[in-house]
Amino acid sequence: MKLNKFSTIILLLIAVLFIMLFSRSAAAENIFTSEILAEFDGQNDEDAYIAARGRVYDVTALFSDGTHMGMEAGQDLTQELEEGPGFNILEGLEQVGYYVEVALTPDLLARFDGVERQEAYVAVDNLVYDVTDVFSGGTHQGNEAGQDLTDVFHEESPHDMDTLSDYYIVGLLVEETFTRAELSDYDAQDDSPNYAAVDGLVYDMAGFWPEGEHYGHQAGEYLTQEIFESPHGITVMLNVAIAGALDDFLLAVEENDVEEETDILYVVLMGIGVLAAISGVLLGLHAFRSVLQEV
């Protein structure tokens, strides 16, 4: 009997530990879009969350009735904090997730290599950071910007995760992108994946909608409004795995932005060079003509 009680206690402790670890892991991976964040506005006794520099904080204790110093919860307040009280007011507050307004593919990330006045971005654990200030010329300690440095950072970097807290999160790294037309093929029919899009991100709904539908909601569709109006609300998407992003959620960068900027600079410099050469020739001819006149 004592052994059974002891075993039961051990199992309960293991279960509690597992739940705590899982909860911390889940909280660290929570990805908030603008629609999800808006639900945490601190109104009607709801929790108050805000985003700053790509991170989401629980400010319930600070934002009375969802407001503080003229700022409203449920929003990205990066600019307001920069121009106002500063980020120090966030010290000691719980970070509950990450905030993204755009996604980047590996090809798009590669464009931000820190070369020729371009910003320097790197990805760590699917989050994209602006590291322009530290990646001089696009490199830092032998690593190049524009890449996913997750393995390098965890296995080789002398820094710990706290180092990244100094850098802005500019988006989410995704491998797959979909048009809304392509999304309709992922409706869980005929062994196809079971995906649905909410607020620009594409989620794998297999664990939630095994048959591809749920209370009238159908996989393969853009369901932001439908999920928002459902009994559980849009915040349920925090617990669903992300499969990719819609193409209109990608960071908007013109295809030839970097090249055009470089080309313009090249043309200007070439023009200056040509003018200098012509001026030199004219001066030379003038000097030669003067010599001839003297002779």
Residue found by looking up tokens 């965890």 in the block: 154
Task: Decide whether 2-97 matches 177-249 in CATH topology.
Answer: yes
Q: Which amino acid is at 102?
A: V
pLDDT of residue 146: 97
Residue found by looking up tokens 């908030």 in the block: 32
Q: Which CATH number fits domain 177-249: 3.10.120.10, 3.40.50.1100, 3.30.9.10, 3.40.30.10?
A: 3.10.120.10
Residue 264 CB: number of other CB atoms within 10 A? 10
Q: Which residues of the chain have pLDDT under 50?
A: 1-3, 9, 11-28, 258-262, 265-266, 292
Residue found by looking up tokens 């996604």 in the block: 103
Give the residue extent of every domain in the chain. 2-97, 103-173, 177-249
pLDDT of residue 286: 58
Positive or negative CA dihedral for 195, 196, 198, 201? positive
pLDDT of residue 157: 63
Residue found by looking up tokens 């297999």 in the block: 206
pLDDT of residue 273: 64
pLDDT of residue 279: 63
pLDDT of residue 191: 84
The kind and range of the H/E element at 150 are helix 150-155
pLDDT of residue 14: 43
The class of domain 103-173 in CATH terms is alpha beta
Say which residues have a Cβ less than 8 Å from residue 51's Cβ, sequence separation at least 6.
32, 37, 57, 75, 76, 77, 78, 99
Note whether 257 and 247 are within 8 A (CB): no
CATH architecture for the domain at 2-97: Roll (3.10)
Burial class of residue 40 in the structure, from the number of CB atoms within 10 Å of its CB (0-12 exposed, 13-18 middle, 19+ buried): buried
- Rg, C-alpha atoms of the chain: 27
pLDDT of residue 290: 60
**Structure tokens that stand for 292 in this block:** 């001839």
pLDDT of residue 144: 95
pLDDT of residue 261: 47
